[in-house]
Chains A and B, each alone.
Chain A
């Protein structure tokens, strides 16, 4: 008797296995279907009210849903957009701007910001449930998706509509095809300082890297601490150091070496790279150079350098444009007042003014007309302006934290400090994307951070760290 049951169970099991194996034999069709379904789903969710009981009932009685209403809504194409930007002002601004665009063009656009974007986009693609558009913070990830055939090339209208210079659009170009269009820029080659403190001590903003080093020497001689440095950032501890190194590689060895370094055409422990790593270490190790509120560089959170800068514990802090979010509340930015904080361009060595940047790119998972229309809009200057306005309003004035290098924006929508960011961005001939975002994750989000941190702690020198990082490069 028991054997009969066993046999039946075995039969059921094998049937289930076969079914699950066959379930996904045509991923492309499934993906297309899934997009349509995801779209229908959103329509249904939108038509229902938020009352939980209503939602419950609606899901239960899906078949009995009022058909007319559903039909009406279904005529309107739906475009879902996901991305890593999720806090209130950012996600709110994107939704507001895209929603308004959609309304004017008869498209239902929904933006979803996602704290776990990197993992989720993989899951959604694997699960045949991708959004229509997604905003990629890493060109490397976009390239992986493009080569795997998960994202589709941008339609001609999107490519033609990109208002960004070649220096930026190249990040969305994979093997000669444009898969991504830039939608946001971050500027990393910046030094934050207090103009009033500089004036009181008679310091001048340095225009070459040698001036910068000389200035730090003067500051130490005067009894001031030149730099605030802290590289602690939880699991990502060390990324601030990698940004410094990247800026130094660009300055000391130029964009070509930088590109070879990123592409692994030269090994990570190439003498030129080691030199740049060591330059940063030596600079930080100079007596009296660094103020770290947490005791040591590696124990100080990168977010905790705003207060000491404002308090005058240090004179300068090299950090990206988004750092305005960590300057204590109530501090004025670049308005000439006594306590105001301003930035200057992290000076270069030989006048070629390279800029280390980062940013996001929008890429499409299908080539529906509505999807491409939204992508085209996002790649243009109009979107950047509208988002800047919306985000400033949501922040309640001051700095929005948003920056775009799209050409043709009206600079007056930006605050004065952000206008200076814009100027640096738009005048830069050499823009390079954050190398650690371009390298394989094992290195760029792994050993480069961890070995770098241990070098900053003085446990090893740059050559040893570089050698270990090179050994970890996936072959």
Chain B
């Protein structure tokens, strides 16, 4: 009796379990669809003309006069030299690639030092670095711009002499100003993420390397870097997407120089006065989003692995 009821209960339980088990999947699919609808609508709209977009929502795409059109993309891609999106794409690369590589390079060295080199004040320095995560970058924008466009000077009141602490490099309006800013604000997180991963590497590896006579640089170059590829790639994706999509820093540091403008600014300018060219925004957004998608999908297999980096320390 008990056996049978157990058996039956098991069957019902399994069925219930299966139904319940599919709920999260169903909810997830629902969220995915709801979440994607605006993007999908934007994609559809990017193939519709100005008047079609003005007069009816994107779901009317099949009843549009003349059907879908590539005119928006043509207009976006062939715009004049002052706002050329192709030129701004080159600028975006010139900003995003160095702004990704520089912080990774510095952070990898720093994280290794914090993790495996025993020096005085290591903990305090690490805490100071990580607590910089809490500094909102907005508060530093104008002081930084002043630094880039004038350097930093210290006037000693009692001898009335001005010392130049940081000379004026004339960086305002250049891509270099944007790299430096992104580097500065990317470093705390980069060091934190890489440090947690690198400390979790097995100690034995380092000890045996030591025994074989490897110095810190050799260990870093030959052992730590190859083992850290997942976390480096994960951070690279993060940083690349963030710098590629950044409007605020680029606009503040290089907004006055059309030669250094990235796509985000070029697209903001596409709409024109009173939004008279709003119909181009969808096409512009998809041109801009194309490259991050390539980066993401080519590096995505590292993504989850890298994010979990250091979170489950043995």
Binding site for B on A (CB under 8 A): 1-2, 5-6, 9, 18-20, 22-25, 30, 33-34, 37-38, 40-42, 44-46, 50-52, 55-56, 59, 62, 80, 82, 84-92, 95, 110-116, 120, 123-124, 126-131, 303-304, 306-307, 322, 325-326, 328-329, 394, 401
Contact = CB atoms under 8 A, between A and B. Distances in A.
Nearest to B80: A92
B42 interface: no
A41 B83 contact: no
Interface stretch (B139-147, B193-201, B229-237, B297-305): B139-147
B64 interface: no
B258 A110 contact: yes
B124 A45 contact: no
Given A87-B270, A127-B142, A307-B51, 4 more contacts: A87-B272, A88-B82, A120-B255, A303-B54
B120 A92 contact: no
Contacts of A42: 173, 257, 259
Interface of B: 49-51, 54-55, 79-83, 87, 90-91, 93-94, 97-98, 120-121, 124-125, 128, 141-143, 145-155, 165, 168-176, 251-252, 255-260, 265, 268-278
A132 B34 CA distance: 48
Contact of A111 (B49, B82, B93): B82
Nearest to A137: B273
Given A41-B257, A59-B176, A123-B142, A322 B149 contact: no
A320 to B, nearest CB: 9
B154 A18 contact: yes
Given A56-B98, A90-B272, A127 B258 contact: no
A116 B251 contact: yes
Contacts of A110: 257-258
A304 B168 CA distance: 51
A326 B276 contact: yes
Contacts of A19: 152-154, 165
Contact of A85 (B120, B251, B273): B273
14 contacts: A19-B154, A37-B150, A37-B172, A45-B259, A52-B93, A62-B169, A80-B257, A84-B273, A86-B269, A114-B269, A126-B142, A127-B149, A129-B148, A307-B55
A22 B173 contact: no
A468 B33 CA distance: 44
A90 B270 CA distance: 11
A127 B94 contact: no
A87 B149 contact: no
Contacts of A30: 146, 149-150
Nearest to B95: A52
Given A19-B152, A42-B259, A329-B51, A92 B83 contact: yes
Given A38-B256, A124-B256, A325 B172 contact: no
B260 A24 contact: no
B168 A23 contact: no
Given A30-B150, A45-B257, A123-B141, A40 B269 contact: no
Nearest to B121: A5
Contact of B124 (A2, A114, A127): A2
A90 B173 CA distance: 22
Contacts of B83: 86-88, 91-92, 113
B274 A322 contact: yes
A95 B54 CA distance: 30
Contacts of A38: 149, 170, 172-173, 256-257
Contacts of A46: 259
Contacts of B120: 1, 5
B273 A394 contact: no
A22 B256 CA distance: 25
A80 B251 CA distance: 16
Contacts of A56: 94, 98, 175
**A22, A51, A95, A111: most-surrounded residue (chain B CB, <10 A):** A22
A40 B256 contact: no
A127 B273 contact: no
B168 A9 contact: no
Contacts of A130: 256
Contacts of A127: 142, 145-146, 148-149, 172, 252
A23 B277 contact: no
A52 B90 contact: yes
A350 to B, nearest CB: 31
Given A23-B147, A46-B259, A95-B82, A37 B170 contact: yes
Contacts of B146: 23-24, 30, 126-128
Nearest to B260: A45
A30 B149 CA distance: 8
Given A84-B273, A322-B273, A50 B90 contact: yes
Given A50-B90, A322-B274, A59 B174 contact: yes
B256 A33 contact: no
Nearest to B265: A115
A181 B217 CA distance: 63
Contact of A55 (B94, B142, B172, B252): B94
A173 B137 CA distance: 38
A406 B83 CA distance: 28
A394 B271 contact: no
A34 B274 contact: no
A33 B168 contact: yes
A416 B42 CA distance: 37
